């Protein structure tokens, strides 16, 4: 019994990604709209759109990094690796710590956007900025979705943006 409790405590302390108790939600999308936009100077725009569209509604799985399930930082790690050939750390907090911090006016498609759900606990959620206020991320309730940074829910929890690479 003590072994089980210790394993649970260690697993909780080592948490590999977004905390599963953090419940982010998506914006209801108009099925006729195209949520991805061609924007700014990143050269892999079409590849990014294709990758995001292929992964939409992949189920959420805490610690996951596959089509069977992915969490928020696993998803951004996959995007950065497959689209930009840039390795990034595994957790949202580490991705924020290691990235080049940006002002909101300098965000471009492919940058990472970060959120904090609980005060004083640091970054606990991450997504990929798509332009025009949209971002792709993995959430417990729906898996990989596209949401709007301007929605009140996300605007209140927004923490900042980072860039990797150029």
pLDDT in tens, 100-144: 999 999 999 999 999 998 776 789 999 999 999 999 999 999 999
Express each pLDDT in 153-164 by its tens digit.
999 999 999 999
DSSP string of 32-60? TS------TT-TTHHHHHHHHHHHTTPPB
Q: Could you give the domains of the chain? A: 41-163 (3.90.1720.10)
Which residues lie closer than 8 Å to 44 by C-beta, 6 or more apart?
83, 84, 110
Q: What is the dihedral of CA 11, 145, 154, 66, to 10 degrees?
A: 20
Q: Give the pTM.
A: 0.76
- Asked if residue 29 has pLDDT above 90, the reply is no
Q: What is the pLDDT of residue 129?
A: 98
- Mean predicted lDDT score pLDDT of the chain: 80
Q: Over pLDDT 70: what percentage of the chain?
A: 72
Residue 104, class by beta-carbon neighbours within 10 Å (0-12 exposed, 13-18 middle, 19+ buried)?
exposed
Confidence grade of residue 14 (pLDDT, cut at 50, 70, 90): very low
Report pLDDT for 9: 31
Q: Check pLDDT > 70 for residue 75.
A: yes
Catalytic residues: 72, 125, 137
Q: Is residue 25's pLDDT more than 70? A: no
- Residue 39 pLDDT > 90, yes or no? no
- Give the model's pLDDT for residue 44: 58
Q: Which pLDDT value is given to residue 121? A: 78
């Amino acid at each position: 019994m003590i072994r089980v409790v210790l394993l649970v405590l260690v697993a909780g302390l080592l948490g590999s990604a977004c905390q599963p108790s953090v419940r982010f939600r998506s914006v209801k999308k108009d099925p006729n709209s195209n949520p991805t936009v061609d924007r700014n100077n990143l050269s892999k725009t079409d590849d990014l759109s294709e990758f995001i569209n292929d992964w939409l509604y992949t189920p959420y799985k805490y610690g996951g990094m596959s089509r069977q399930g992915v969490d928020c930082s696993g998803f951004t790690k996959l995007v950065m690796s497959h689209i930009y050939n840039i390795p990034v750390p595994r957790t949202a907090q580490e991705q924020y710590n290691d990235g080049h911090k940006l002002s909101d006016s300098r965000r471009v498609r492919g940058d990472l956007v970060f959120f904090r759900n609980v005060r004083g606990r640091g970054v606990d959620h991450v997504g990929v900025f798509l332009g025009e206020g949209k971002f792709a991320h993995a959430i417990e309730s729906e898996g990989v979705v596209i949401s709007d940074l301007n929605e009140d829910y996300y605007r209140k929890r927004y923490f900042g943006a980072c860039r990797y690479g150029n």
